[in-house]
Amino acid sequence: MASLFSSNPTLASNPSYLFSQAPHNLAAGNKEHGFYPYTDNGGSTLGITGNDFAIIAGDTRSTSGYSINTRYSPKVFRIGGDDETGEGAHIILSVVGYAADGTALKERLNAIVKMYKYQHGKKMTVKACAQRLATILYGKRFFPYYVTAILGGLDEDGKGALYSYDPVGSYEREQCRAAGAAASLIMPFLDNQVNFKNQYLPGTGVGHDLQARQTEPLPLHEVEQLVRDAFTSATERHIEVGDGLQMFVVTKGGIEEKYFPLKRD
């Protein structure tokens, strides 16, 4: 019997008896997973700087689809302070988008800023913290933290500093930035009211000769009112924005937290 097979030409030239040599002409293409690891929890955030202060604000509504999860879920956090009270912090961070990633990101940055202080015996500058946050986000480039972050504080010269991010870590220092669900509603308002875009000085000429209004640093009380107006308007027009407005103001005196109710419908 053995001789029968050993003399078989087919077998000798093509001994396809090993399972690993089996032809795998299976349907190619990956199986689609039923689980999508992201969600959008809605809400909006906004940051504006002045000469000697930075403000970051966010609404406190958390949503999934058309449902309101809760009316109070903060999106703005103190970074590098006491766990319970936030005391000793000098940097603020807002995260909007996928709330679970936002919390994870906040906790990572918080731990890093604290470790920096313990290891170097000095507070991390906002500039350094901003670069570090970009590195954290970019480190998860291929499974990103699905959040838009805004970082704020005072720079080395005591001037208001604000950095805005995309989910994979591109960042930029800016005067003002709106993020989240109602960013497209708030940002044009900010362009006009903070950077005086499309504002011209009357009687300075016709057409291209018209002189643009020069930007000037805005005082704190004016900025605070801009923030409140931005959010009351966004609440009117966006269903994912509302319930409450939480505001953090960084000055050389420290971080002050404010809360204003918004419409809950």
Partner 1 sequence: MNHLPQAWGRPRDDVYGPYDASYLQSRLPQTHTQSPIVTGTSVLAVKFKDGVVIAADNLASYGSLARFTDVKRLRPFNSKSIVGIGGDVSDMQYLDRLLNSLDVTENYSSTGHSLNAKNLHTYLSKVMYKRRSDINPLWNQMLVAGLDGNDEPFLSSVDLLGTTFSSPTLATGFGAHLAQPLLRKVADDESKVADITRERAVEAVKECMKVLFYRDARSLDRYSIAVVTKEGGLELKEDEQLEGQSWAFAETIRGYGRTQEA
Figure out which of the listed residues 7, 22, 209, 221 binds partner 1, where binding follows CB under 8 A.
22
State the alpha helices, DSSP H only, in 206-252. 220-237
User: What are 143's two structure tokens?
Assistant: 């499974």
Q: Which residues are paired to 171 by β-bridges?
A: 165
HEC string of 53-68 equals CEEEEEECCEEECCEE
Q: How far is Cα 2 from Cα 229, in angstroms, rounded to an integer?
A: 91
120 contacts partner 1 (rule: CB under 8 A): no
Q: Per-residue x/- marks for partner 1, 24-63, CB under 8 A?
A: xxx---xx-xxx-xxx-x--------------------x-
Question: Is the distance from CB of 242 to CB of 262 less than 8 angstroms?
Answer: yes
The CB-of-96 to partner 1 minimum distance in angstroms stands at: 14
Can you state the percent helix, strand and coil of the chain, rounding each to 5? 30, 25, 40
The CB-of-38 to partner 1 minimum distance in angstroms stands at: 7
Torsional class of 196: left (φ above 0), alpha (ψ -120 to 50), beta (otherwise):
left
Interface residues for partner 1 in 136-165 (CB under 8 A)?
A: 143
Question: Is the distance from CB of 175 to CB of 81 less than 8 angstroms?
Answer: no
108 contacts partner 1 (rule: CB under 8 A): no
Only one of the segments 3-11, 129-137, 149-157, 186-194 lies at the binding site for partner 1 (rule: CB under 8 A); that segment is 3-11
Figure out which of the listed residues 104, 168, 220, 239 binds partner 1, where binding follows CB under 8 A.
104
> How many CB atoms within 10 Å of residue 233?
15
99 contacts partner 1 (rule: CB under 8 A): yes
Q: How far is Cα 35 from Cα 258, in angstroms, rounded to an integer?
A: 39
CB of 101 or CB of 224, closer to partner 1: 101
Only one of the segments 4-12, 156-164, 172-180, 199-207 lies at the binding site for partner 1 (rule: CB under 8 A); that segment is 4-12
CB of 66 or CB of 118, closer to partner 1: 66
Figure out which of the listed residues 52, 100, 174, 196 binds partner 1, where binding follows CB under 8 A.
100
Question: Is the distance from CB of 248 to CB of 256 less than 8 angstroms?
Answer: yes
Residues that bind partner 1 (CB under 8 A): 1-2, 5-6, 8, 10-11, 14-17, 19, 22-26, 30-31, 33-35, 37-39, 41, 62, 64, 67, 69-73, 98-100, 103-104, 143, 264
